[in-house]
Chain A
Amino acid sequence: MTDDGSNIIVVKDLVKKFGTFTANDKLTFEVRKGEIFGFLGANGAGKTTALRILCGLSRPTSGFVHVAGFDVSRHPEEIKKRIGYMSQKFSLYEDLTVEENFTFYGGIYGLSRKQIKEQTNFLLENLKFHKSKEILIRALPLGWKQKLAFSVAIMHRPKVVFLDEPTGGVDPVTRRQFWKMIYDTASSGITVFVTTHYMDEAEYCERISIMVDGRIKALDTPASLKQRFNAINIEEVFLKIARN
């Protein structure tokens, strides 16, 4: 094992093939505990495939993949207990109230009634939303839905939370608030693994990897990437990599 205890995700030579198509070609990277790790790439670059493998939704064709200390092929159930997930499609139930959604998701992660109550109150107070617990999700604007979905994803205090394009379709102000939540979450000890195609958001991450055609072409802090590619922002870095 290459896991020396400081990495929460360890991936070595991960390959995923669908028939003759190679979606992920020998991916190798590590994510440190408590880090905000950005997973960048154009649509179709293989981000979602890799993310699904890390979450135990899909099996790798070959390679070594460890999440939270467990092998994804052999112990997906152990991993599922220790991760949180928020998909790009919005994931709360529209016809349930805010509180019912929290109770439901807390329940399927095996939280006790007391824990569910405490966590719901704590998270909703952080959002200054605790007075509106009885509102149906359907009645809320998208930005609020997304912030609530994120709160639900970290409700059971996972070791790492996977966010799949969490800010898609959200206005800039809400995106800022969302990233504030991500920072708070990371500083409370939860590792954040986030995919995005907003290049400005990549600047908020501690380290980013850039995927092109199923391969990781660059992986470093935003600052050193900009330096290395002599670019003023990540968007320029991305374009330079994609053109090669």
Chain B
Amino acid sequence: MKRFLGFIKKEFYHIFRDFRTLMVLFGIPVAQVLIFGYVISNEIKDVKIAIFDQSKDEVTQQISSKILSSGYFLLDRNLSSQKEIEPVFKAGYVREVVVFEPDFAKRLKSEGKATIQLIADASDANIANQVVSYTSGIIFDYVKLLNMEEQGAAGINTEVRMMYNEGLEGAYMFVPGTIALVLMLVSAMMTSISIAREKEMGNMEVLLVSPLKPIQIIFGKVMPYVVLSFVNAVIIIFLGHIVFGLPVNGSLALLLGVNILFILLALSVGILISTVSNSQLVAMFISAFALMMPTILLSGFIYPIENMPEVLQWLSCIMPPRWFISAIRDIMFKGAGLLYIWREVTILTAMTVFFIAMSIRKFSVRLE
């Protein structure tokens, strides 16, 4: 035990004496939360549009002012001919052009229908989609109002409530994902690099010749990162709460417990990576490609899993962050207890056991 404590002490010296390690450990997580929380956002706000109104009657004026007063859109300019539409997109500021056909109000009255054309700049498909659906929503609202005036209260009324995230805040999406990303970065990447460093510098051999058991060496290397990762998780949840007002509706103990489970999982992945890499560079490379990319792309962190092609959906099932993110979202926002997230917890536990078994096997094979 005393040998083990000395080992951990040495590990902390390594960490606290290296400015770059410290930055990765504490600077990057904080920066990531703030960047993901503020910069990446799903909401549209003040999107510039142009209006080509060929009718200029009472109805088109009403619809235009409804669109512009929604807070989502800003009028960049009014167009006066069809030819102006393309140059406006090419100039790059305008995301959408709303076109009213001639005699809009008249047709609406005589034929009972009139056409509004929405033309969007789909070079950014996500934004185009959202812009169009927001605009159509506003127009539908207006149509509904119109119908009600004419036919009394016979229409169907839809009332929407966004449960668990009333304000549709982007931070609700990104903070859980950032926790996953940071824990992967700190736990898996830093552990694999620090073990690979011992190998690269020749210290590992000396340690293996010593009376320390391999398992003690591994635990000694990993222990400090368990502590630091946990501190990181707490910092991020705290920041999310203070800066972005994220609630923790479920049990804090359960939330921290799931975090610890994920840290252990990430560490065992880190150990596994270190057994197959002999230098820090290789360890970093594998970590970045095998961990960072899938965490960002396939975990539901940024892109919804439901929208992925089926093959990728299957692939996302073997990505640990997917289950972790889903579990902590449930705990933080829905206040879910263990009973509701047992599936996620079971899968994460099974994955942890699998990776630990794999790395122990790899490690002993290497000794032969």
Interface residues of A (CB under 8 A from B): 55-59, 77, 80-81, 83, 85-91, 93-96, 100, 103-105, 107-110, 162
Residue of A with least CB distance to B198: A93
Interface residues of B (CB under 8 A from A): 2-3, 6-7, 9-10, 13-14, 17-18, 201-203, 205-213, 367-368
Which of chain B's residues have a CB closer than 8 A to the CB of A100? 10, 13
Whether the pair B205, A93 counts as a contact (CB closer than 8 A) is no
Kindly state the separation between the CA atoms of A22 and B111 in the bound complex, as whole angstroms: 94
Kindly state the separation between the CA atoms of A226 and B87 in the bound complex, as whole angstroms: 93
Which of chain A's residues have a CB closer than 8 A to the CB of B207? 108
Which of chain B's residues have a CB closer than 8 A to the CB of A108? 3, 6-7, 207, 210-212
**Given known contacts A93-B10, A95-B17, A83 and B209 CB-to-CB distance under 8 angstroms:** yes
Kindly state the separation between the CA atoms of A162 and B205 in the bound complex, as whole angstroms: 12
Q: Which applies to chain B's interface (DSSP): helix, strand, loop or mixed?
A: helix
Residue of B with least CB distance to A88: B202
Kindly state the separation between the CA atoms of A116 and B210 in the bound complex, as whole angstroms: 16
Q: How many A-B residue pairs have CB under 8 A?
A: 73
CB < 8 Å neighbour of B211 from A81, A87, A91, A103: A81
Sample of 18 more A-B contacts, CB < 8 Å, known A93-B10, A108-B210, A110-B211: A80-B210, A88-B202, A89-B201, A90-B201, A91-B203, A91-B206, A93-B201, A93-B203, A94-B201, A95-B13, A95-B14, A96-B13, A104-B9, A104-B10, A107-B3, A107-B6, A107-B7, A110-B3
Whether the pair A57, B205 counts as a contact (CB closer than 8 A) is yes
Which of chain A's residues have a CB closer than 8 A to the CB of B212? 108
Which of chain A's residues have a CB closer than 8 A to the CB of B3? 107-108, 110
Q: How far is the CB of A107 from chain B (nearest CB, A)?
A: 3
Q: Which 10 A-B pairs have the closest CB atoms?
A: A89-B202, A107-B6, A85-B209, A91-B206, A80-B211, A95-B17, A55-B209, A81-B211, A104-B10, A108-B3
Q: Which applies to chain A's interface (DSSP): helix, strand, loop or mixed?
A: loop
Q: How far is the CB of A189 from chain B (nearest CB, A)?
A: 20
Which of chain B's residues have a CB closer than 8 A to the CB of A110? 2-3, 211
Q: How far is the CB of A17 from chain B (nearest CB, A)?
A: 12
Whether the pair B209, A80 counts as a contact (CB closer than 8 A) is yes
Which of chain B's residues have a CB closer than 8 A to the CB of A55? 209
Residue of B with least CB distance to A104: B10
List, sorted by A's number, 24 A–B pairs whose CB atoms are closer than 8 Å. Answer: A57-B208, A57-B367, A77-B213, A80-B209, A80-B210, A81-B211, A85-B209, A85-B210, A88-B202, A89-B202, A90-B201, A91-B203, A93-B10, A93-B13, A93-B201, A95-B13, A104-B7, A104-B10, A108-B6, A108-B7, A108-B210, A108-B211, A108-B212, A110-B3
Which of chain B's residues have a CB closer than 8 A to the CB of A90? 201-202
Which of chain A's residues have a CB closer than 8 A to the CB of B202? 87-91
Residue of A with least CB distance to B200: A89
Kindly state the separation between the CA atoms of A55 and B14 in the bound complex, as whole angstroms: 27
Whether the pair B205, A58 counts as a contact (CB closer than 8 A) is no
Whether the pair A107, B2 counts as a contact (CB closer than 8 A) is yes
Kindly state the separation between the CA atoms of A162 and B17 in the bound complex, as whole angstroms: 31
Which of chain A's residues have a CB closer than 8 A to the CB of B6? 103-104, 107-108
Kindly state the separation between the CA atoms of A110 and B7 in the bound complex, as whole angstroms: 12
Whether the pair A96, B10 counts as a contact (CB closer than 8 A) is yes
Which of chain B's residues have a CB closer than 8 A to the CB of A56? 209
Which of chain B's residues have a CB closer than 8 A to the CB of A80? 209-211
Q: How far is the CB of B17 from chain A (nearest CB, A)?
A: 5
Whether the pair B205, A89 counts as a contact (CB closer than 8 A) is yes
Which of chain B's residues have a CB closer than 8 A to the CB of A87? 202, 205-206
Kindly state the separation between the CA atoms of A110 and B202 in the bound complex, as whole angstroms: 21
Residue of B with least CB distance to A162: B209
Residue of B with least CB distance to A84: B209
Kindly state the separation between the CA atoms of A103 and B13 in the bound complex, as whole angstroms: 13
Q: How far is the CB of A56 from chain B (nearest CB, A)?
A: 7
Kindly state the separation between the CA atoms of A85 and B203 in the bound complex, as whole angstroms: 11
Which of chain A's residues have a CB closer than 8 A to the CB of B203? 91, 93
Q: How far is the CB of B6 from chain A (nearest CB, A)?
A: 3
Q: How far is the CB of A9 from chain B (nearest CB, A)?
A: 15
Which of chain A's residues have a CB closer than 8 A to the CB of B210? 80, 85, 105, 108-109
Which of chain A's residues have a CB closer than 8 A to the CB of B367? 57-58
Residue from B3, B6, B206, B207 with most neighbouring chain A CB atoms (10 Å): B206
Kindly state the separation between the CA atoms of A89 and B2 in the bound complex, as whole angstroms: 27
Q: How far is the CB of A89 from chain B (nearest CB, A)?
A: 3
CB < 8 Å neighbour of A93 from B14, B209, B211, B213: B14
Which of chain B's residues have a CB closer than 8 A to the CB of A95? 13-14, 17-18
Which of chain A's residues have a CB closer than 8 A to the CB of B13? 93, 95-96, 100
